[in-house]
Amino acid sequence: MIHHKPVMQKKILEYTAKYAVIKTFCDCTIGEGGHTEFLRTHLEDWKFIGIDKDDYIIKIAQKRVGSDVVIYNDSYINIRNHYRENIGVFLLDLGLSMYHIRSENRGFSFNRSEDKLDMRFSQNTKIDAAFILNNYSYNDLIRIFTDYGDIKKSDTLAERIINWRKKNIFVSVRDLLSCLNFKRNYEKKHPLTLVFQALRIEVNNELSDVAEFLQHIETIGNRNSLFIFIAYHSGEDRLIKTRIKELLRENKIELFTKHVLKPQWDEVKKNKAARSARMRIFKLL
């Protein structure tokens, strides 16, 4: 069952059709395959490949995009371990798939209280969310909630978790809900959204992967490779923006988005998950 609505599809198609030189498209976070499915119907004579950490979601994507699209089960930072030929476009949609939020026992949603506190994209990942909550120090908890959740009162949050685990063990989503006991203000984003975001990013080393990819972008890409980044978290977007500035100073890229691109209002109205999307596009010289 397909849940996820890929964001800014028309904008990706526009820049790909206008600026791409090599007709090979790599969907570096293929997820349920939505972007690739859409682009394949508009880009004739193109080759498509994909990569994703989650072996469960790959099965969904493969059925959606067809067997002629090769999908690798790995992190996008390792794409060159699998595919050595020139690539025209690298798409990194760094958002969370609705598949993860709605899947049973993955622990990505605070609306599924009986789920385990897992949050791993890959079952090969060593730690899960329960491990973090049961073992991280007070200072480390503050770090992830501040850096990855932009939570202002991270010290209070960390203190609640430390005190709760003196008599309890974090196993299920229900345990975290009981510990924090947040009340929702329906005029604002649910406070648990940021808590779950921070835990997910830490579990999956998401910002580390983005930073490593950006650092090695010259060897990952080739001359004229187009890079399309869609970030949803300020930390991710800051890493991308900083690296773009470095590459511009070194005259190694052509930047097509002087100002960050955002979804149109009509798209956000249909898909609330798109409201935080921030797109940046550049080409290696």
The span from the CA of 73 to the CA of 79, in Å, is 10
Measured in whole angstroms, how far is the alpha carbon of residue 280 from the centre of its chain? 14
This prediction's pTM: 0.91
Q: What angle do helix axes 191-204 and 206-215 make, rounded to 10 degrees?
A: 50
How confident is the model at residue 46, as a pLDDT?
97
Cα 153 to Cα 46: distance, rounded to the nearest angstrom: 49
pLDDT of residue 186: 46
Q: Which two tokens stand for residue 47?
A: 């080759």
Q: What gap in Å lies between CA 120 and CA 104, rounded to an integer?
A: 13
Considering the chain, tell me which residue range(s) the CATH 3.40.50.150 domain(s) occupy: 9-99+207-284
Can you give the pLDDT of all 285 residues of the chain as single tens digits?
Answer: 555 678 999 999 999 999 999 999 999 999 999 999 999 999 989 999 999 999 889 999 999 999 999 999 999 999 999 999 999 999 999 988 777 777 888 888 888 889 999 999 988 888 999 999 999 999 999 999 999 988 888 999 999 999 999 999 999 999 999 999 876 554 466 778 889 999 999 999 999 999 999 999 999 999 999 999 999 888 899 999 999 999 999 999 999 998 999 988 888 888 777 788 999 999 999
pLDDT at 20: 96
Task: Please report, in angstroms and rounded to a whole number, the separation of the first and last CA atoms in the chain.
Answer: 41
Cβ-Cβ contacts under 8 Å for 86 (sequence gap 6 or more): 22, 24, 222, 225
Question: Cα 183 to the chain's mean position, in Å?
Answer: 27
* CB half-sphere exposure, 5, CA atoms < 13 A: 13
Q: Alpha-carbon distance 111 to 202, whole Å?
A: 20
Architecture of domain 9-99+207-284: 3-Layer(aba) Sandwich (3.40)
The CATH 1.10.150.170 domain(s) of the chain lie at 107-204
**Does an H or E element contain 109, and which?**
none
pLDDT for the residue numbered 184: 59
Task: Domain 107-204: give its CATH superfamily.
Answer: Putative methyltransferase TM0872, insert domain (1.10.150.170)
